Amino acid sequence: MTAYHELERRFARLAALGDAIGILGWDCQTMMPDGAAEARAAATATLAGLSHDLLTAPVVADLLDEAEAGTAGLEPWQRANLHEMRRDWSHATAVPADLVEASSRASSAAEMVWRTARAASDFAALKPALAEVLACQREIGQAKAAALGCSPYEALLDQYEPGARTAAIDPLFDDLADFLPGFLGRVLERQAMLPAPEPLAGPFPVEAQRALGERLMRRIGFDFNRGRLDVSLHPFCGGATNDVRLTTRYDEGDFTRALMGVLHETGHALYEQGRPAAWLAQPVGAARGMAVHESQSLIVEMQAARSRAFLDYLAPVVRAAFGGSGPAWEAGNLHRLYTRVEPGFIRVDADEVTYPAHVILRYRLEKAMIAGDLTLEDLPGAWAEGMRALLGIVPPDDRRGCLQDIHWPSGGWGYFPTYTLGAAIAAQLFDAASRAEPDLRPRLAQGDFAPLAGWLRTNIHGKGSLLSTSDLLREATGRPLDPALYRRHLERRYLERDAHA
Amino acid sequence: MTAYHELERRFARLAALGDAIGILGWDCQTMMPDGAAEARAAATATLAGLSHDLLTAPVVADLLDEAEAGTAGLEPWQRANLHEMRRDWSHATAVPADLVEASSRASSAAEMVWRTARAASDFAALKPALAEVLACQREIGQAKAAALGCSPYEALLDQYEPGARTAAIDPLFDDLADFLPGFLGRVLERQAMLPAPEPLAGPFPVEAQRALGERLMRRIGFDFNRGRLDVSLHPFCGGATNDVRLTTRYDEGDFTRALMGVLHETGHALYEQGRPAAWLAQPVGAARGMAVHESQSLIVEMQAARSRAFLDYLAPVVRAAFGGSGPAWEAGNLHRLYTRVEPGFIRVDADEVTYPAHVILRYRLEKAMIAGDLTLEDLPGAWAEGMRALLGIVPPDDRRGCLQDIHWPSGGWGYFPTYTLGAAIAAQLFDAASRAEPDLRPRLAQGDFAPLAGWLRTNIHGKGSLLSTSDLLREATGRPLDPALYRRHLERRYLERDAHA
């Protein structure tokens, strides 16, 4: 057996362990009784430890060296697979075991403190625990930076979005930060002249919401033979190979949020269900990264499902599902509900227009904290200042400011930018797909996602991690990431009377 | 760290892996979409392989030797824990890896063939695959026999019921085999003179059945903070530490079977939830064996829940749950339904009186096959002959004969006797508990399981694997396993007009 094939065997076991961890994680959020928390944490930690041991065993370094010396005999997919193996190995071996453990402990502790500190809007209470997390993240960033040849913050980014570099993100986010305040003003001005959206009157029984959600998931292309829809406090798309588990949370007083949430997670799910069948258990068969992943949820939610074309189809469907009647149930009102813009303090409640401002703020702040240019002491003030500059509002307390997200206490530094990178990629992919498939938009108006899903499967899902994010985007759209397309999407939807936007 | 403590650390990781496998197994039966089967099999096999590697690593043998040389410094629970570690290790290391793999492959293959062969009542179709399984089981038995110092069949038995030996089982089963035919005749004679049970008219909505099942589970003492009730095709009690997952299958035309099934599984669950808290992640904290485990389900189902005392409590409860009325809903009729005796071909449909005959038959046949005294060629004939001798009936085809159970094709040789050992242990434990707790029976008549559950927790559940099965039974009841107590239970319930039986 060649070194490459020995590596394939080992990485297949790693994928199997990853599948086990994925199902246990889903179970923890959806099914597990509270009393099992401690034993489950032990089980998950044990699997993570075994996985780390498998990946960092000394023999892996030798096998990688040997396989890389003989790439001439490998096919392109195998070569890309080997490249991803090396990438996984570099991330795993860059950080000493005691730092991994210290970081895991610091994050668990800070996450616990955060739950009460956020509720009490007490940043001072979180600060000591958060300082530990930040110190670990800086150390991890430095260790990985040395291994990857980039800055510490980029090394953290690279964990979620391989190859992402600030030299590419900074100008993109600066472009948007310049554009958004003026654009937002114009959007709000125009919105003020339109009728206000009428709320839809419930109640909306959970069972009817679930049935509608599953029906739309099927239309989008979700394969229930290889996945499920369940309920959890915080919606997510997780699970395992050929076993994609989506969740949502129902509110019987308002179906609109859960419904759009299901469509969003279905976008993620299509990516997972469309990964290359021959490579599912190998690194090259994994999704490319979190920015591309987010682009897949946002292309379904923001590009397709909130379009006027699709809402024309959806309006009578929801009317029938809930027995609604009257003008509030017309497509026009549904469109006004689903494209309502309103600056607010909370990222997860933000609309499509103001969301990037929340992300840009966090990106700039976490980059500065990792670089040592911003202290936790100064974080609340910097947050307020950034909100004022980007959205013109200042949070009245830290609960609605720098305490709102779990990412920093839980150690997810470097993750935030993927949301807005994903939104920009989604706009560019949708533009390319619409040009390549002329009936994509008209078919959406009939609730038919087949042209969009087919194009995505060929150009994105089925490619796994064969290409870098930038090459993937270039091959699919003919150009690098271009914020102009994202801006144009926003302008068409929020400023022009475009029947499709 | 001492050798013993190093072993504790390693076995805690093994327990964590076991928990992961337990939850994946539950998910596979209750939640998993069909398309995930292949990936899930890979995940489970990987965890099983890692678990085997952890247990059989060369260092473990050294640690065991070293720890056993220094038991003077250990507490009794630690000494028993070490004994169980050695036991697990002996079983795992006795069989060479290629035989483990061959056996696993043979069983998977035979199980597949069995599903169609049973449906077609075609024993000839199963025979070649079953012969492979039998050959592997004989080899495994021989390998383990050498390591454990017992016969090959006993070595297989020992996997499920540690310490079980044919010298103890043979006289017990012979005693029952002598007793049953005559007893059955008398039971049927008496039964013929009583009114026939009236069937209860449905439909019985699943939701009402589930609510009633959960209500009774709570009364018996099931802790929903550390467990769940769900639905699967084949009911079981599984899950993980502090996370006991029961399942049942509902039939809207008949609630009685699912309800009693839930009570049966709740008996298993009490055992799992009552294991010693300080030793949950160690071998000594595990349930003693499958015979004792079955005794816990049967003490709840057969000793307590089918007693007239409990059914007096249950009758108005089920009447209210399903809005029933009329004489069919009286306790007397419920008792006649739940103690109906009728010889039949199918073990899983058998009543309390005829069930042991099914088990004794299988025990005798599998023991002879492992010893080489009976060939597969002669199995159907031997089956028919055994059924005639024990129950006076002969199955008209192999579907209702030697093809009915999954145990042999799936490699579960040596498991069958634990069912009837469990029934006999249950009778003896219930007798001792009733004498130790005088209000046990009157409280059951009020639907109150606290005295029974409390006695079991102290005398059985909380002991884990501290004692051997025979010592556990002797400490709890003052004597070794005595079939007379089991016979007396059957006689009181089925021949006498005992208000409690």
| Percent of chain B predicted with pLDDT > 70 | 99
Kindly report the nearest CA distance between residue B158 and chain A, in angstroms. 27
* pLDDT at A79 exceeding the cut of 80: yes
Identify the pLDDT of residue A377. 97
Residue of A nearest to B277 (CA): A39
Residue of A nearest to B243 (CA): A36
Residue of A nearest to B16 (CA): A43
* pLDDT at A344 exceeding the cut of 80: yes
Cross-sheet strand order for the sheet of A237-240: A227-231, A243-248, A237-240
Residue of B nearest to A16 (CA): B43
* pLDDT at A1 exceeding the cut of 90: no
Work out the average pLDDT over B472-481.
Answer: 97
Helix (H) or strand (E) holding B464: none
Question: What DSSP state is assigned to residue A267?
Answer: H
Identify the pLDDT of residue B248. 97
Q: Judge if A215 and A90 occupy the same domain.
A: no
In this complex, do A242 and B27 lie within 8 Å of one another by their Cβ atoms? Answer: no
Kindly report the nearest CA distance between residue A223 and chain B, in angstroms. 9
CB-CB: which of B12, B34, B240 is closest to A225?
A: B34
The conformational region for residue B405 under phi > 0 = left, psi -120 to 50 = alpha, else beta, is beta
Residues of B in contact with A50 (CB under 8 A): 17, 50
Question: Which of A45, A73, A94 is a domain's end point?
Answer: A94
Question: Measured between alpha carbons, how far is A322 from B307 in angstroms, rounded to an integer?
Answer: 49
| Percent of chain B predicted with pLDDT > 90 | 96
Q: Judge if B311 and B441 occupy the same domain.
A: yes
Interface mutation target, options B9, B27, B44, chain A, most CBs of A under 10 Å: B27
Is residue A338 classed exposed, middle or buried when 0-12, 13-18 and 19+ CB atoms within 10 A define those classes? buried
What is the pTM for the complete model shown? 0.95
Cβ neighbours for A175, distance < 8 A, ≥ 6 positions apart: A483, A487
Question: Looking at the 3D structure of chain A, how many domains does it have?
Answer: 2
Interface mutation target, options A21, A241, A280, chain B, most CBs of B under 10 Å: A241
CB of B102 within 8 Å of a chain A CB? The answer is no
Within 10 Å of residue B65's Cβ, how many Cβ atoms? Answer: 11
Instruction: Give B373-403 pLDDT, tens digit per residue.
Output: 999 999 999 999 999 999 999 999 999 999 9
The CATH number assigned to the domain holding B305 equals 1.10.1370.30
Residue of B nearest to A37 (CA): B242
Q: Is B189 helix (H, G, I), strand (E, B) or coil?
A: helix
Which CA distances in Å does B269 have to B11, B18, B475? 23, 17, 22
* pLDDT at A195 exceeding the cut of 80: yes
* Residue B324 maps to a domain: yes
Cis peptide bond prior to A480, omega within 30° of 0? no
Question: Which of B42, B70, B94 is a domain's end point?
Answer: B94
CB-CB: which of B17, B35, B228 is closest to A46?
A: B17
Q: Judge if A213 and A74 occupy the same domain.
A: no
CB of A177 within 8 Å of a chain B CB? The answer is no
Identify the pLDDT of residue B1. 81
Work out the average pLDDT over B108-125.
Answer: 95
CB of B238 within 8 Å of a chain A CB? The answer is no
* Residue B369 maps to a domain: no
* pLDDT at A500 exceeding the cut of 90: no
Identify the pLDDT of residue A165. 96
Work out the average pLDDT over A91-98.
Answer: 94
Domain containing A29 equals: 1-94
Check if the interface score ipTM surpasses 0.90.
Answer: yes
For chains A and B, count residue pairs whose Cβ atoms are closer than 8 Å.
119
Is residue B178 classed exposed, middle or buried when 0-12, 13-18 and 19+ CB atoms within 10 A define those classes? exposed
Instruction: Give B246-266 pLDDT, tens digit per residue.
Output: 999 999 999 999 999 999 999
Work out the average pLDDT over A344-371.
Answer: 98
* Residue B192 maps to a domain: no
Work out the average pLDDT over A123-150.
Answer: 97
* pLDDT at A499 exceeding the cut of 80: no
Kindly report the nearest CA distance between residue A13 and chain B, in angstroms. 6
* Dihedral angle over CA of B418, B424, B429, B432, nearest 10: -160
* Residue B170 maps to a domain: no
Which CA distances in Å does A89 have to A108, A394, B256? 24, 43, 56
Identify the pLDDT of residue A321. 97
Question: Which of B79, B94, B109 is a domain's end point?
Answer: B94
In this complex, do B40 and A13 lie within 8 Å of one another by their Cβ atoms? Answer: no
* Residue A409 maps to a domain: no
In this complex, do A33 and B280 lie within 8 Å of one another by their Cβ atoms? Answer: no
Residues of A in contact with B31 (CB under 8 A): 31, 228
Within 10 Å of residue A203's Cβ, how many Cβ atoms? Answer: 12
CB of B278 within 8 Å of a chain A CB? The answer is no
Work out the average pLDDT over B441-463.
Answer: 97
Within 10 Å of residue A388's Cβ, how many Cβ atoms? Answer: 12
Question: Measured between alpha carbons, how far is A272 from A270 in angstroms, rounded to an integer?
Answer: 5
- Among candidates A368, A359, A371, A469, which has minimal Cα distance to A416? A359
CB-CB: which of A47, A228, A281 is closest to B33?
A: A228
Tokens of B218: 């709570």
Q: Please provide the average confidence, as pLDDT, over all residues in chain B.
A: 96
* Residue B360, CB-side half-sphere exposure with 13 Å CA sphere: 27
Residues of A in contact with B281 (CB under 8 A): 39, 42
Question: Measured between alpha carbons, how far is A200 from B3 in angstroms, rounded to an integer?
Answer: 67
* Residue B327 maps to a domain: yes
Identify the pLDDT of residue B500. 57
Which CA distances in Å does B233 have to A31, A37, B415? 19, 28, 21
Work out the average pLDDT over A303-319.
Answer: 97
In this complex, do B242 and A16 lie within 8 Å of one another by their Cβ atoms? Answer: no
* pLDDT at B493 exceeding the cut of 60: yes
Instruction: Give B131-144 pLDDT, tens digit per residue.
Output: 999 999 999 999 99
CB of A225 within 8 Å of a chain B CB? The answer is yes
| Percent of chain A predicted with pLDDT > 70 | 99
CB of A223 within 8 Å of a chain B CB? The answer is yes
In this complex, do B33 and A240 lie within 8 Å of one another by their Cβ atoms? Answer: no
Instruction: Give A362-379 pLDDT, tens digit per residue.
Output: 999 999 999 999 999 999
* Residue B9 maps to a domain: yes
CB of B43 within 8 Å of a chain A CB? The answer is yes
Q: Is A465 helix (H, G, I), strand (E, B) or coil?
A: coil
Q: So which residues of B are the catalytic ones?
A: 265
CB-CB: which of B34, B36, B42 is closest to A16?
A: B42
* Residue B487 maps to a domain: yes
Cβ–Cβ < 8 Å for B24, A18: no
Q: Name beta bridge partners: A246.
A: A229, A237
* pLDDT at A198 exceeding the cut of 90: yes
Work out the average pLDDT over B458-481.
Answer: 98
Q: Judge if A442 and A315 occupy the same domain.
A: yes
Instruction: Give B13-58 pLDDT, tens digit per residue.
Output: 999 999 999 999 999 999 999 999 999 999 999 999 999 999 999 9
CB of B48 within 8 Å of a chain A CB? The answer is no
In this complex, do A33 and B281 lie within 8 Å of one another by their Cβ atoms? Answer: no
Within 10 Å of residue A185's Cβ, how many Cβ atoms? Answer: 11
Q: So which residues of A are the catalytic ones?
A: 265
Work out the average pLDDT over B297-311.
Answer: 97
Cis peptide bond prior to B203, omega within 30° of 0? yes
Please compute Rg for chain A using Cα positions: 23
